[in-house]
């Protein structure tokens, strides 16, 4: 029997995502000038105020106030009417040095034997819903908000848009777990004040259906476009008004959107957030590694759907557990335990090896902090960083390396595919 599954996304202007982007921008600044930096920074944003707290061990100095303000302005919080803007908000800093008790378990004379920065379990997931091997409801939710942000910055249509927004997509699946149709779409977008609430609501709904959605649908492959019928239920700004938003409407915190960041509720999540953490924290690096494994397994044809769990003990290099679940979709004559053992042989899962394989000691994290860490397109870019102490540097870095299908051939050999 068919069933419904729903995922949500939030925009770069959502208060929690503002916090994530500030935390990751600060991380990038530290890594740009000192790749060995140990960083764990949390950000809180509220009306007219930013609070930065956490632990850092680094040879460089970062102007954290200037970095935070730059991020806020780039997102679009540039007007006093928003009650939160990059030029006038207060920035309070409470960052101190990383605990020696933690550091002694991480650093090793042989770098490849560095211990995990914390205990915990991390999950990676992949399925055949989309070309990116991501769950379709989440993929569509992200695309809706990305395009909404593009429209906002173009300032040609929907000129009333403000930075904060959320989306949600419900898909009906066949009983063989393939997408059947789009059931419902929810879009809540912050907007300028209108003279009259009722025409405002009607106008925003009309624009979402007739301007935003056609632009989103046009970007999709034909097989996904075919899922959009005339019976979709649209819920646009269901409360009727969304003028007060962003950090003025709701306090934001780093790490509160971990399901948006990953798989939209599909698969599983170990509970650890990503943003603001350097890759010695397996919360981040092992989550990327497990996604890399799951995606390559599905792309190689080992299974149609794969969940990978990696578990670590603080200060210990090798994982204490490697788990694979193919949900009964395996195409090889092996049980999931045997597949997990092959995975452990194929991939070096020590934290330092993950950092090296996925090139994680680079300033690549600001781009991950909105619209999902997984399912993104790997690419090489040149980034520029400036420091009052170290001058200006340019770095060529690879983004989203964990999305590369660089182990498919090797996996096919191992599994006889």
394 is in an annotated binding site: no
191 is in an annotated binding site: no
| Cβ–Cβ under 8 Å, residues 150 and 165 | no
Q: What is the CA radius of gyration of the chain?
A: 22
Give the closest residue to 81 by CA, choosing from 246, 201, 212, 223: 246
Rounded CA separation 106/118 (Å): 9
Strand partners, 198: none
16 is in an annotated binding site: yes
Report residue 163 as tokens.
């930075």
242 is in an annotated binding site: yes
79 is in an annotated binding site: no
Rounded CA separation 387/376 (Å): 29
CB neighbours of residue 369 within 10 Å = 27
CA 201 vs CA 8, 185, 190: distances in Å: 21, 16, 12
CA 249 vs CA 85, 239, 387: distances in Å: 13, 14, 34
CA 377 vs CA 84, 168, 327, 338, 374: distances in Å: 32, 22, 26, 31, 9
413 is in an annotated binding site: no
100 is in an annotated binding site: no
98 is in an annotated binding site: yes
Beta strand 233-236 with 161-173 is unpaired
172 is in an annotated binding site: no
Rounded CA separation 33/138 (Å): 35
83 is in an annotated binding site: no
CA 222 vs CA 178, 226, 227: distances in Å: 15, 6, 9
49 is in an annotated binding site: no
Crossing angle, helix 408-415 and helix 282-300, to 10 degrees? 60
Rounded CA separation 77/162 (Å): 8
379 is in an annotated binding site: no
CA 23 vs CA 19, 92, 119, 169, 210: distances in Å: 6, 14, 22, 28, 36
CB neighbours of residue 321 within 10 Å = 12
Binding residues, by number, are 14, 16, 42, 55, 98, 164-166, 241-242, 250, 256-257, 273, 277, 281
Binding residues for Mg(2+), by number, are 16
Binding residues for ATP, by number, are 14, 164-166, 241-242, 250, 256-257, 273, 277
Binding residues for K(+), by number, are 42
């Amino acid at each position: 029997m068919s069933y419904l599954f729903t995922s949500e996304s939030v925009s770069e202007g959502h208060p929690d995502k503002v916090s994530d982007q500030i935390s990751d921008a600060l991380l990038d600044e530290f890594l740009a000038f000192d790749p060995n930096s140990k960083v764990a920074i949390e950000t809180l944003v509220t009306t007219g105020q930013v609070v930065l707290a956490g632990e850092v061990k680094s040879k460089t100095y970062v102007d954290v106030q200037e970095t935070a303000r730059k991020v806020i302005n780039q997102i679009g919080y540039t007007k006093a009417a928003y009650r939160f803007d990059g030029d006038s908000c207060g920035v309070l800093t409470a960052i101190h040095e990383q605990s020696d008790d933690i550091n002694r378990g991480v650093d090793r004379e042989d770098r490849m034997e560095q211990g995990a920065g914390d205990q915990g379990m991390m999950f990676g997931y992949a399925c055949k819903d989309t070309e990116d091997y991501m769950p379709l409801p989440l993929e569509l939710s992200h695309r809706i908000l990305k395009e909404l942000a593009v429209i906002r910055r173009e300032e040609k249509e929907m000129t009333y848009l403000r930075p904060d927004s959320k989306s949600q997509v419900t898909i009906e699946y066949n009983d063989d777990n393939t997408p059947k149709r789009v059931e419902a779409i929810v879009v809540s977008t912050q907007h300028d004040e209108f003279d009259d609430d009722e025409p405002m609501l009607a106008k925003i709904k009309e624009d979402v259906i007739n301007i935003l959605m056609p632009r989103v649908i046009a970007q999709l492959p034909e097989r996904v476009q075919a899922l959009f019928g005339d019976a979709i239920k649209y819920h646009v700004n269901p409360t009727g008004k969304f003028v007060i938003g962003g950090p003025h409407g709701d306090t934001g915190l780093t790490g509160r959107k971990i399901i948006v960041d990953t798989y939209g509720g599909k698969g599983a999540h170990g509970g650890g957030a990503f943003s603001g953490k350097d890759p010695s924290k397996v919360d981040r690096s092992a989550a990327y590694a497990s996604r890399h494994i799951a995606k390559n397994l599905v792309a190689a044809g080992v299974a149609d759907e794969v969940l990978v769990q990696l578990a670590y003990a603080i200060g210990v290099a090798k994982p204490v557990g490697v788990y694979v679940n193919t949900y009964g979709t395996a195409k090889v004559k092996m049980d999931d335990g045997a597949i997990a053992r092959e995975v452990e042989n194929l991939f070096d899962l020590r934290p330092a090896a993950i950092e090296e394989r996925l090139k994680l000691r680079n300033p690549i994290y600001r781009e991950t902090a909105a619209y999902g860490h997984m399912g993104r397109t790997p690419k090489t870019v040149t980034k520029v960083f400036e420091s009052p102490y170290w001058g200006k540097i340019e770095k060529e870095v690879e983004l989203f390396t964990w999305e590369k299908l660089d182990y498919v051939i090797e996996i096919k050999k191992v599994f006889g595919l």
